[in-house]
Structure 1
Amino acid sequence: MTVTDTPRLDEAALEQFVHQAVGDLAAAISGLMVHLGDRLGLYRAMAGAGPLTAAELSARTGTSERYVREWLSNQAAGGYVAYEPAAGTFELSAEHALVLADESSPVFLDGAFETIASCYTDHEAFAEAFRSGDGIGWGDHDDRLYTGALRLFRPGYAANLVDSWLPALDGVVEKLRDGASVADVGCGLGASTVILAQAFEHSSFVGYDIHGPSIDAAREAAAEAGVERRARFEVGSAKDLPGAGYDLVTLFDCLHDMGDPVGAARHIRDSLAEDGTLLLVEPAAGERLEDNLNPVSRLYYGLSTVICTPSSLDQEVGLGLGAQAGPKRLEEVLNEAGFSHVRVATRTPFNLVIEARR
Structure 2
Amino acid sequence: MDTPVIDTAKVEAFAMRAVGDVAAAYTGVMVSLGSKLGLYRALAGAGPLSAKEVAKRAGCAERYVREWLNAQAAAGYLGYHAVSDTYELSPEHAMVLADEDSPVYLPQAWNVPAAMWADESKALDAFRSGRGVAWGEHDARMACGVAAFYRNGYRASLVSQWLPALDGVVARLEAGIAVADVGCGHGHSTLLMAQAFPNSRFFGFDTHAASLAEARRHAAAAGAAQRVDFSAASAVSYPDHRYGLICFFDTLHDLGDPVAAARHAAETLAPGGTVLLVEPFANDRVEDNLSTVGQLFYAGSSLICCAHAISEGGTLVLGAQAGPKRLADVFRKAGFTQFRRAAETPFNLIYEVRR
What's the TM-score, normalizing by structure 1?
0.97
Give 3-state SS (helix, strand or coil) of 1:237's partner: coil
Q: Which residue of 2 aligns with 1:22?
A: 19
Q: Distance in 2 between matches of 1:220 and 1:123?
A: 30
Q: Which residue of 1 aligns with 2:69?
A: 72
Q: Matches of residues 167-178 of structure 1 in structure 2 within 5 Å?
A: 167-178=164-175
* 1:13 to partner: Cα distance: 1.8
* 1:244 to partner: Cα distance: 4.9
Does residue 351 of structure 1 match 2:348? Answer: yes
Q: Distance in 2 between matches of 1:303 and 1:111?
A: 15
Opposite residue 303 of structure 1, the aligned amino acid is: G
Q: Distance in 2 between matches of 1:5 and 1:233?
A: 63
Does residue 99 of structure 1 match 2:90? Answer: no
* 1:274 to partner: Cα distance: 1.6
* 1:15 to partner: Cα distance: 2.1
Among 232, 243, 258, the alignment partner of 2:229 is: 232
Give 3-state SS (helix, strand or coil) of 1:240's partner: coil
Q: Which residue of 1 aligns with 2:250?
A: 253
Does residue 188 of structure 1 match 2:185? Answer: yes
Q: Deviations over 1:269-289 (max 9, x none)?
A: 110012000000000001111
Q: Which residue of 1 aligns with 2:49?
A: 52
Q: Matches of residues 150-161 of structure 1 in structure 2 within 5 Å?
A: 150-161=147-158
Q: Which residue of 1 aligns with 2:270?
A: 273
Q: Which residue of 1 aligns with 2:39?
A: 42
Q: Distance in 2 between matches of 1:121 and 1:87?
A: 41
* 1:155 to partner: Cα distance: 0.5
Q: For the structure 1 residues 300 and 317, does the alpha-carbon distance in structure 2 shift closer, same or farther, using more than 3 Å as the test?
A: closer
Q: Deviations over 1:39-89 (max 9, x none)?
A: 222112211121122222222222222221111111101100000111111
Q: Distance in 2 between matches of 1:105 and 1:318?
A: 38
Q: Distance in 2 between matches of 1:125 and 1:34?
A: 26
Give 3-state SS (helix, strand or coil) of 1:356's partner: strand
* 1:318 to partner: Cα distance: 4.5
Q: Distance in 2 between matches of 1:53 and 1:306?
A: 41
| Deviating more after overlay: 52-61 vs 167-176 | 52-61
Does residue 199 of structure 1 match 2:196? Answer: yes
Give 3-state SS (helix, strand or coil) of 2:236's partner: helix
Q: Distance in 2 between matches of 1:317 and 1:351?
A: 23
Q: Distance in 2 between matches of 1:62 and 1:320?
A: 48
Q: Distance in 2 between matches of 1:317 and 1:148?
A: 24
| Residues 132 and 308, structure 2, Cα contact 8 Å, conserved in 1 | yes
Q: Distance in 2 between matches of 1:209 and 1:45?
A: 37
| Residues 180 and 202, structure 2, Cα contact 8 Å, conserved in 1 | yes
Q: Distance in 2 between matches of 1:231 and 1:91?
A: 43
* 1:145 to partner: Cα distance: 1.2
| Deviating more after overlay: 119-128 vs 203-212 | 119-128
Q: Matches of residues 61-140 of structure 1 in structure 2 within 5 Å?
A: 61-140=58-137
| Residues 281 and 345, structure 2, Cα contact 8 Å, conserved in 1 | yes
Q: Which residue of 2 aligns with 1:166?
A: 163
* 1:213 to partner: Cα distance: 1.2
Structure 1 segments of 4 or more deviating over 6 A?
none
Q: Percent identity?
A: 53
Q: Distance in 2 between matches of 1:38 and 1:122?
A: 23
Q: Aligned residues, how many? A: 355
Q: Distance in 1 between matches of 2:64 and 2:138?
A: 29
| Residues 181 and 246, structure 1, Cα contact 8 Å, conserved in 2 | yes
What's the TM-score, normalizing by structure 2?
0.97
Q: Distance in 2 between matches of 1:251 and 1:133?
A: 26
* 1:316 to partner: Cα distance: 2.6
Q: Deviations over 1:283-315 (max 9, x none)?
A: 000111100010011001111111111111101
Give 3-state SS (helix, strand or coil) of 1:239's partner: coil
| Residues 241 and 271, structure 1, Cα contact 8 Å, conserved in 2 | no
Q: Distance in 2 between matches of 1:159 and 1:97?
A: 17
**Structure 2 spans left out of the alignment, 5+ residues:** none
Q: Deviations over 1:100-135 (max 9, x none)?
A: 111111111123212222211111111111111111
Opposite residue 284 of structure 1, the aligned amino acid is: F
Give 3-state SS (helix, strand or coil) of 2:49's partner: coil
